[in-house]
Structure 1
Amino acid sequence: MFVIIICMAVVVFMPLLAKVPLALMMNREGKYDNRHPRSQQNRLEGLGARAKAAQENSFEAICFFAPTVLLVLALDAHTVYTVQLCIAFVGLRLVYLLCYWCDWHLARSIVWVAAMGTLVAHYVMLLS
């Protein structure tokens, strides 16, 4: 269960990791506009725009991962298999960020599907 909780923490804080290149690109624009950061982010292009999208997607991933993991924990259904699925989700989401930042759009889509597949596997396991 400890590893599952660590995975949950990593996913919850992943948007902060995704913020690092976004903040760097905002700084490159001349200055990080702390008064109007969202306006500044909306003007970014290239890596900056992709970093913003990656961060937003990281927030969205929490909405899929957290309920799935909380259901596994609430039903006391955690096994070695669920731990491996959680680790796989985290690893895939980290690769997903890299793919977003590097503009590897096809790889990013494949990694996204694989990560979502780990969540589907949780539900298949819970329902069997």
Structure 2
Amino acid sequence: MNVALWCILIAIILPYVCTAVAKISGGYGLRHNHDPRGFLDSLEGLGKRAHAAQLNSFEVAPAFAAAVLVAHLVGNAELVTLNVLAVLFITSRLLFIIFYLADWATLRSLVWFVGMGLIVSFFVVSV
């Protein structure tokens, strides 16, 4: 399996990292599981931002996975190009999460746009 396909797995796992940060920052650790959605909705500060980063990560993962798979199926792009784009996307997502947690809204929005541009680029390089 190549790097771009492994990056899909990383994109699937990243939201759960954000969930762990949200739960830990909420003071209950990872064991508060009677009403996890209600608990996450009640968070403030860092925990609330981690939860928001989790939701955004869940939203973007399918688009990234689809872009990588379509690019592989079409087969017109070099594998190294797809791998580089995938690593750049994961890097943008890591920065997005860090900037979200740090409450740096402008930088967070900028790297969000970069990530979306990278998703589009999978389709562009496959033409």
Could you tell me the TM-score, scaled by structure 2's length?
0.90
Unpaired runs of at least 5, structure 1: none
Residue 111 (1) aligns with residue 114 (2): no
Identity of matched residues, % = 33
Task: Report 1:1-128 matches (<5 A).
Answer: 2-26=2-26, 28=27, 32-79=31-78, 80-127=80-127
Give a deviation string over 1:68-113, Cα, whole Å, max 9, x none: 0110112224422121111100011001000010000000000000
Give a deviation string over 1:30-50, Cα, whole Å, max 9, x none: 995311111111111111110
**Greater Cα shift, 87-96 or 1-10:** 1-10
How many residues of Structure 1 are paired with residues of Structure 2 in the alignment? 126
Q: Distance in 2 between matches of 1:59 and 1:36?
A: 19
Could you tell me the TM-score, scaled by structure 1's length?
0.90
Could you say if the C-alpha distance between residues 31 and 67 of structure 1 is closer, same or farther in structure 2, counting changes exceeding 3 Å? closer
| CA-based RMSD | 1.7
Unpaired runs of at least 5, structure 2: none
